[in-house]
Every structure is written in structure tokens, then in C-alpha cells.
């Protein structure tokens, strides 16, 4: 069971009746509580969806969409298989990750995240702590993402349009003396981004819209690709020794490539952690909080964590997809008949993507120079452009 709280000691402002229980987790830096089901209704495994027809006929894509809808409503997580990215690409990118994380610390630190206003780059062990009840996340990471000024993304030459006005300087930072790392990550990026965008169209069908319904929100999407290395933790370690603390993603959709080492756990509605073990040739996909808000909670951004107690090194590669920074999102018409808990009054307010993004990422990196620079600025005045200043 996950740690749960009775209504009497839950977060202020929760108005549930006495005896109700809540699970505690984080989204970005924000402490959040979610009610635990009073009767057992939770999933016990993660469904697998065959997407071999993702480029097929509309009828075939609609069939995939029905499976995606079912999975998103039930647990917010699903595997996809037969997605056309070859195993050779997986083998190549995992070899790349192992080579990078094996570099000398000094080389990796040339791309330290604190050197980059956009909060991308290398994060050494314990740099972050998603769950304040833990000792810090037992992992090292590297983050790169959308940067329409980098030649590899070549936005203008590919589209004939200028990049968005908020992009005035490079957002990624790369380690010195390791050009092969940048080259290898971009080779994988060029495969995973098109697949993610195909899933955007499938999700549009899943919520009973035309498959192009979200295209105007993904002209300049915020992306994040995050190589992760988890060293083994003792098999009898307490829950405060976690690779990645309990959290919900503040993306729209996440696609995770896992190696063969199991460690990912997903929280069901009953407050029970369900294993999401590696399945060869698949991605684990999960709903992020932007999509949860658009669907009025029908597609939950499910809480998950990583605990590597296998005694082996673990590597994974999540890809986070989020709409344009200036996009405005509101609850979809097809989802306004009540939230995921069946209560019609549960409706999310319209949100600006960039505003929510900055309010999640800055407080989660309190020691980062960008956070320090704007610490006295009220949150209602924060904007996505602060990451680019």
C-alpha cells in the first residue's frame, strides 16, 4: 500500500467526509492528495496496445483509439507495441546512455543543469527530490528538448516558418568533448517525436474528436527527453530510498523506454502499487496533467515512482510531450459530463500551458539560478519566458 492519510490529517481545504483516505504525491514541486477508493476498483496490471495500424485506415486508427481510451480511463498507463521503431534503435540508445553516464563526473558537469537558465542539462545524484519524505532521488539524469534554434531541429528549413517568438536563445546545453552524445540523442529524438505526434491524433479520436483536433496546440510543442541512470539500492531499503519519488507527470503525454531492469511502479485507485515491468520492444505511455485537465479527469495523470531494488544498474529514457507554451487549454466538450469520479461539478479552469509549466518546474529546482533570480516575483507574474532569459 502507498502511504495514505485520513481525512482528519489530509491537506487543508479537502472537504471529504470523515474516514476517507488520501494518497500523498508530488507534481513538480506541488504537494497533492488524491482520494483512495472506498471499495476495491483499481487495476492490477498495465494493458498493452498493438499500434501496428497507427498509419492504417481511419477505421483501424479508431480501433486503436478505443483501446487507448479504455486504458486511459482505467489506469492512465498503457504499453504500446509494434510501433515501427526497431529494436536496433533501442539497443543503440541504451549503449549511448551507458557510455554517457560512465563519463568522468567533471565532463558531465560541463553541462550541469545550473549552468542553463532553461533548467536543462546534467543532474548528478540527489540533485532533485520529488518527494520531500525521501532522502532525494537516487538517480542521475540529463535533459534536452525542444530548441528550434538548434540545427538538428531545423524548424525553419523543415516548415518554411519562423520559430516561435519566445525562442531567442538556445535552450539545451551539451557536455564538452562528447559530440557523439548529442548526435546519438538527436538520432533517437527524430524517431520518438513523430511517434508521439501520431499518438496525439489517436488520443483526439479517443475523446470523440477529429484526429486533427489538437494540431493547432502542437505547432511548437514543449518536449523533454530525459536519459536516466538508477544505481541499485539495497533490496531491504526503506521507502525513503527511491530512485524517483511518487509523482504525476506535468506533461500532456509521456512515452518511456525501459531497459530490462524492473523498477517502475504505478499507483492504482485503491492505493496499491502495481508493477509496470519492462516488456521487450514496447514503450510505457502515461497521461500527464495537461491531458488530465483537458479530459476533466476522465484520463487521470496516474501517480508513479521508481524503486530499483534489483541489485542492477537501470537505465530508462522518458520522452515528455506538452502543447505549445502559449496554448490555452480548457476542458473538452466531450468530457464535460462529469469528472473521472462521476461528479459533474469537477471541472478544471482554463489554463495557459507555459504558465502552469513554469509554476511546476521552478519551485522543484529551488537551488537553480533561475529560481533564485525570480524568487521574489509573485507566481501570478511568472511566465514561460523566464526560462529563456
DSSP, collapsed to helix, strand or coil, labels residue 205 as helix
State yes or no: pLDDT of 12 exceeds 50. Answer: no
* Over residues 191-207, mean pLDDT: 98
Asked whether the predicted pLDDT for residue 164 surpasses 60, the reply is: yes
pLDDT for residue 1: 45
Q: Residue 170 above 50 pLDDT?
A: yes
Annotate 223-247 with DSSP letters as a single string.
EEE--EEE----TT--TTS-SEEEE
The answer on pLDDT for 339 being more than 70 is: no
In this prediction, residues 202-222 reach a mean pLDDT of 96
φ/ψ of 81, rounded to 5, equals: -130, 165
DSSP single-letter state for residue 346: -
What's the rounded Cα separation, in Å, for the pair 32 and 84? 37
pLDDT at 384 over 70: yes
Distance CA 57, CA 53 (A): 8
pTM reported for the whole predicted model: 0.88
Burial label for 63, CB within 10 Å (0-12, 13-18, 19+), is middle
Domains of the chain in start order, with CATH, are 41-388 (2.60.120.330)
In the block, cell 497507427 appears at 54
pLDDT above 90 coverage of the chain, percent: 61
Q: Taking all residues of the chain, what is their mean pLDDT, rounded to a whole number?
A: 86
How far apart are the C-alpha atoms of 122 and 108, rounded to whole Å? 6
Phi-psi region of 94 (alpha: psi -120 to 50; beta: other; left: phi over 0): alpha
What is the Cα–Cα distance from 266 to 272, expressed in whole angstroms? 8
Q: What is the pLDDT of residues 217-231, one digit of tens each?
A: 999 899 999 999 999
Residue 375 above 50 pLDDT? yes
pLDDT of 235-293, one tens digit each?
555 555 566 778 899 899 999 999 999 999 999 888 889 999 999 999 999 999 999 99
Least Cα distance to 294 among 381, 191, 204 occurs for 204
Amino acid at each position: 500500500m502507498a502511504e495514505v492519510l485520513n481525512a482528519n490529517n489530509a491537506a487543508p481545504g479537502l472537504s471529504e467526509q470523515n474516514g476517507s483516505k488520501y494518497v500523498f504525491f508530488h507534481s513538480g514541486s506541488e504537494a497533492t492528495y488524491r482520494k483512495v477508493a472506498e471499495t476495491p476498483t483499481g487495476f492490477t496490471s498495465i494493458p498493452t496496445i498493438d499500434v501496428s495500424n497507427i498509419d492504417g485506415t481511419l477505421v483501424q486508427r479508431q480501433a486503436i483509439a478505443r483501446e487507448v481510451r479504455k486504458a486511459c480511463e482505467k489506469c492512465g498507463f498503457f504499453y504500446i507495441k509494434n510501433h515501427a521503431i526497431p529494436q536496433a534503435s533501442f539497443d543503440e540508445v541504451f549503449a549511448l546512455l551507458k557510455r554517457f553516464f560512465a563519463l568522468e563526473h567533471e565532463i558531465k558537469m560541463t553541462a550541469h543543469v545550473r549552468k542553463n537558465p532553461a533548467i536543462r542539462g546534467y543532474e548528478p545524484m540527489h540533485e532533485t527530490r520529488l518527494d520531500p519524505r525521501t532522502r532525494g532521488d537516487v538517480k542521475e539524469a540529463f535533459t534536452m528538448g525542444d530548441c528550434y534554434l538548434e540545427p538538428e531541429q531545423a524548424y525553419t528549413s523543415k516548415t518554411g516558418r519562423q520559430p516561435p517568438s519566445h525562442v531567442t536563445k538556445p535552450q539545451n546545453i551539451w557536455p564538452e568533448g562528447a559530440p557523439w552524445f548529442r548526435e546519438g540523442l538527436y538520432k533517437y529524438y527524430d524517431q520518438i517525436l513523430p511517434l508521439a505526434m501520431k499518438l496525439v491524433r489517436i488520443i483526439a479520436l479517443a475523446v470523440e474528436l477529429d484526429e486533427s483536433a489538437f494540431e493547432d496546440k502542437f505547432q511548437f510543442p514543449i518536449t523533454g527527453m530525459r536519459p536516466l541512470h538508477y544505481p541499485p539500492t539495497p533490496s531491504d531499503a526503506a521507502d525513503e530510498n527511491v530512485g524517483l519519488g511518487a509523482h504525476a507527470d506535468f506533461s500532456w503525454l509521456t512515452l518511456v523506454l525501459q531497459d530490462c531492469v524492473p523498477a517502475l511502479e504505478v499507483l492504482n485507485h485503491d492505493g496499491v502499487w502495481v508493477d509496470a515491468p519492462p516488456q521487450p520492444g514496447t514503450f510505457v505511455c502515461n497521461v500527464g496533467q495537461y491531458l488530465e485537465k483537458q479530459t476533466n479527469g476522465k484520463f487521470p495523470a496516474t501517480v508513479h515512482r521508481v524503486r530499483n531494488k534489483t541489485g542492477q544498474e537501470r537505465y530508462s529514457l522518458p520522452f515528455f510531450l506538452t502543447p505549445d507554451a502559449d496554448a490555452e487549454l480548457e476542458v473538452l466538450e466531450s468530457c464535460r459530463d462529469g469528472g473521472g469520479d462521476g461528479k459533474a461539478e469537477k471541472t478544471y479552469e482554463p489554463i495557459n500551458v507555459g504558465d502552469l509549466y513554469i509554476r511546476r518546474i521552478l519551485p522543484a529546482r529551488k537551488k537553480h539560478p533561475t529560481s533564485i533570480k525570480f524568487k521574489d516575483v509573485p507566481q501570478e507574474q511568472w511566465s514561460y519566458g523566464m526560462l529563456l532569459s
